[in-house]
Amino acid sequence: MKIPYYPGCTLHERARDFDDSARECAMALGVELEELPVWTCCGAVYPLVTDSVMDILAGVRNLSYASRLGDKVVTLCSFCYNVLKRCNNVMRDDAEKREKVNLFLRADTESREKIESYTLEDYEGQLEVLHYIEMLRDVVGYDKVASAVTKRLEGLKVAPYYGCMLLRPKKEMKFDDPEQPTIFENLLEVLGCDVVDFPMKTECCGGFQVVNDEELAVSCSQNIVVSALKREADIIVTTCPLCRYNLDRHQERMAERVDGFTSVPVIYFTQLLGVALGIDKEHLDFTDNSVDPINVLAEKSLL
Amino acid sequence: MKLRLTADMLVDEVLERVETLSGQKLRACYQCGRCSAGCPVVEEMDIIPSEVIRLLQLGQVDEVLSSKTIWICASCLQCASRCPKGVEFSSICDALRAIVLRTRLATPKIDADGLTRVMMSDAPQMGVVGALRKLNG
């Protein structure tokens, strides 16, 4: 089964480990992620001002490309998922903006024809924008994931960290409950993990504010990591490259600020899924982590 | 803090602009403070979210436009998720930033030149793009 896949700029560059592990896992589950032949950055942030049209253009352009391949598009990065889903909602529900954006798409096509044959079609919000976890649950099925598990992650205490962008705003994202989500926990249970519930699982990691104010992001991330540690998590899993960066890269600084701090590895959920599916660790690429996850996984005889 | 209130301050052109641009009703807020209580970056703010809305309700636009708060909001939407009146404070921040960027009634408190080389070479692309989009009004 082929499903159109939008990787986004970060998975194409600094989060190759996320992209690679997701593709390997999908293949093991009988799904081929078909990368869009043409795509651009989605813009990373959905504009919250009501008169913004230009700012959703990048997102819609990608949706238009994806609509040529099928009726769904799958993505992994929480920011991309948020932007694509909200752009899709606008194109489906707001006739005035839809018309304006489609005028841009047509102008885009006219100016591009000379350099590539890929034309942009008018877009009406017809796609179903899925997060990879939703694909596992609704397209593949958690029961099929369960039967593909070759190494149950028994005894591994895993804290699922959602962050903000998958969940909020609830009425648009319709991903799960914004305060008490369970979709991630349900997946981890299928893999045999000992799921750790912790109160900061939907709290913001500081996000892109790290770029302007690193201390701010360290404080936000510290609250999350310490909360997971208090519940004795062996490992934290995330769905977002920026969350991974904030939670993982700043642990030395957290250790300076918090008495008795012990470091905890932070990995992508697809890397953990890969371990459970018996995929070779070389393909799961644990090389970009500041806090090495190999030891923890090896201690539990999982690698 | 001293406030001078006159009737014309409560019907202000900029205030109407905030409501239109954010799509939020400022007067819906009854000051329960859940936005401020849930905000993960509130400690860094010079005016807390519920106070920003109160100041706007009282027509104190200038103070809010020149605040640090509107540049610190990371749009995580925790405020919106917890507001019993359905007000999205993050959208109000976006609208206020847009007004600053479009009118220069105040100075943007974000420094694109301050990005460190380490940050540019190590942070995920989405972080750099997201942060710089704050300068896009």
pLDDT digits (tens, 9 = 90+) for A94-121: 999 999 999 999 988 887 766 666 778 8
Strand order in the sheet with A128-131: A32-35, A2-6, A72-75, A128-131
* pLDDT 10s digits, A196-208: 999 999 999 999 9
How distant is the Cα of A72 from the closest Cα of chain B, in angstroms? 23
The CA radius of gyration of chain A, in Å to the nearest whole number, is 20
- Do residues A101 and A158 share a domain? no
Q: Hey, what are A139's tokens?
A: 């397209």
**Looking at residue B110, what is its pLDDT?**
82
- Do residues A231 and A125 share a domain? no
The yes-or-no verdict on residue A286 having pLDDT over 80 is yes
Which of B74, B81, B114 is the closest to A207 by Cβ?
A: B74
CB contact under 8 A, A212 and B131: yes
CB atoms within 10 A of CB A262: 9
CB contact under 8 A, A9 and B125: yes
β-strand A72-75 against A2-6: which pairing, if any? Answer: parallel
Tell me, yes or no, whether A144 lies in a domain. Answer: no
- Do residues A155 and A289 share a domain? yes
The residues, any chain, with a CB within 8 Å of residue A48's CB and separated by 6 or more, are: B22, B75, B88, B90, B91, B93, B94, B95
Domain harbouring A231, CATH code: 3.40.50.11810
Q: Where among A66, A95, A130 does a domain terminate? A: A130
What is the block-wise mean pLDDT of chain B (137 residues), using blocks of 10 residues? 73 90 96 97 97 94 95 95 97 97 90 72 90 86
Q: Hey, what are B100's tokens?
A: 């600053």
Q: Where among A130, A165, A193 does a domain terminate? A: A130
The yes-or-no verdict on residue A130 having pLDDT over 80 is yes
* pLDDT 10s digits, A181-196: 999 999 999 999 999 9
How distant is the Cα of A168 from the closest Cα of chain B, in angstroms? 6
**Looking at residue B11, what is its pLDDT?**
74
Nearest chain A Cα to B76, which residue?
Answer: A164
- The number of distinct structural domains making up chain A is 2
How distant is the Cα of B124 from the closest Cα of chain A, in angstroms? 6
Tell me, yes or no, whether A139 lies in a domain. Answer: no
Q: Rounded distance, CA B67 to CA B121, Å?
A: 30
Which of A51, A179, A208 is the closest to B127 by Cβ?
A: A208
Nearest chain A Cα to B96, which residue?
Answer: A49
What is the number of CB-based contacts under 8 A between chain A and chain B?
Answer: 137
CB A300 within 8 A of CB A155: yes
Residues in A touching B129 (Cβ below 8 Å)? 9, 41, 43-45, 208
pLDDT band at A177 (very low <50, low <70, confident <90, very high): very high
**Looking at residue A213, what is its pLDDT?**
87
- Do residues A216 and A251 share a domain? yes
How far is the CA of A18 from the CAs of A67, A132, A281, A289, in angstroms? 24, 11, 13, 12
Instruction: Tell me which of A9-23, A218-232, B107-121 is least confident.
Output: B107-121
Tell me, yes or no, whether A145 lies in a domain. Answer: no
First to last CA, chain B: 30
Residue type, B24: Q
**Looking at residue B1, what is its pLDDT?**
64
Tell me, yes or no, whether A184 lies in a domain. Answer: yes
Whether the full predicted model's pTM is greater than 0.90, yes or no, is: yes
- Do residues A114 and A231 share a domain? no
Q: Where among A62, A96, A130 does a domain terminate? A: A130
**Looking at residue A115, what is its pLDDT?**
63
Domain residue limits at A187? 151-299
The yes-or-no verdict on residue A122 having pLDDT over 90 is yes
- Do residues A170 and A47 share a domain? no
